[in-house]
Homo-oligomer: A and B are copies of this chain.
Amino acid sequence: MRQATDLSSFQEHIRNLQAEINEGLRTLSLADRPDYLYTPVKYVLKGTGKRLRPILVHLVGETFSADPEDLLHAGLAVELLHNFTLVHDDIMDADSTRHGQPTVHEKWDESTAILAGDGIYALGQLLISRVKINTLQAIQAFNIATLMVCEGQAYDKEFEHDHNISLDQYFTMIEKKTGWLIGLCAEIGGILGDQNEEVRSHLRSYGLNLGKVFQIQDDILEVYGNEKSMGKSLGSDLVAGKQTVLTVLARELFPAEWAGYWQKIQQLEIDKALSELRGYLEEKKILQRAKELVDTYNERAREDLKSALGERRHILMEFTDMVVNRKK
């Protein structure tokens, strides 16, 4: 009984935070003109993201009784940073849909999307500079993380269509591309909660590990997810020659047969290829191995929470569960 109540109050808290963040994004003080810049910026900010990153900022910050206004500003700033990278990544990866909506470069054009991304990032910078506690440390963490995310996206592009990428290289890429931004969210919660470097470092490490969980799951959902709830077509990363945990594992575990098999199923129409691939990955226990990696990093993330928060880690454990159990 107690657990059920806790869980429902946790879920209610998450919903309240989502509403607050969406309201914050909607009421950001933006100029009306020029349309060329602000119409696509507003389009992006009206999107229906899960807002996991700003929620994480809030949950960590609340644990340390950080100032609510600081958490709102920092949460919006990381959400803008996240959206800036999505808008630009979607151009680079030629993705036409995001959360079931046309991407900016698809709805308008590439120039519009480049500039919208730049503007969103500048707005994020202005927001992060408005926090009142440890302002400069928050700003520096924000920008170091941005550079790391750029490095991660660069590895992602560099590794495209490369059939020699190892699991280690895959982890280097996802730690930067996905992990650092989530690490930043946890760390900023600690910065705004005026915690020392040791705590911050555990928080950052938590985010890096949770980011790995998140990305491995993303790769699994790309093959096993529900197209409708994902809001994008399955298999698009595979078609684009992206490195995913499943293909990298398949190559490492079955070097002799994988290349030929992969060649073969790429000839098939996408739905057929996916269904064929699902069977193969299960039969060869590659899916199982990927899920074990989720467990490993989930475990490490929980250890980090223990080191960072001790007895106060309860709500972040629930957040971690929510991320680990997500279906989209």
Contacts and interface: CB of A to CB of B under 8 A. Distances in A.
Contact of A126 (B35, B110, B147): B147
A262 B38 CA distance: 32
Interface stretch (A66-74, A133-141, A192-200, A311-319): A133-141
A37 B143 contact: no
A36 B158 contact: yes
Interface string A71-104: 0000000000000000010011000000000000
A122 B144 CA distance: 8
B34 A115 contact: no
A121 interface: yes
A143 B129 contact: yes
Contacts of A155: 34, 36
Given A125-B146, A136-B136, A36 B154 contact: yes
A111 interface: yes
Contacts of A88: 114-115, 118
A10 to B, nearest CB: 35
Contacts of A24: none
Interface residues of A, number: 38
Nearest to A87: B114
A123 interface: yes
Contacts of A38: 154
A158 B115 contact: no
B123 A147 contact: yes
Interface in A184-205: none
A144 B129 CA distance: 11
Nearest to A31: B151
Contacts of A111: 91-92, 157
A261 B38 CA distance: 35
Contact of A151 (B37, B129, B144, B150): B37
A119 interface: yes
B140 A126 contact: yes
Contact of A114 (B37, B112, B114, B147): B114
Given A110-B110, A114-B114, A136-B136, A34 B122 contact: no
A243 interface: no
A320 interface: no
Interface of A: 31, 34-38, 88, 91-92, 110-112, 114-115, 117-119, 121-123, 125-126, 129, 135-136, 139-140, 143-144, 146-147, 150-151, 153-155, 157-158
Return the 6 tightest CB-CB contacts between A and B, nearest first. A37-B154, A92-B111, A36-B154, A34-B154, A125-B143, A36-B158
10 contacts: A34-B158, A37-B150, A88-B115, A91-B111, A110-B110, A115-B154, A121-B121, A122-B146, A125-B139, A129-B139
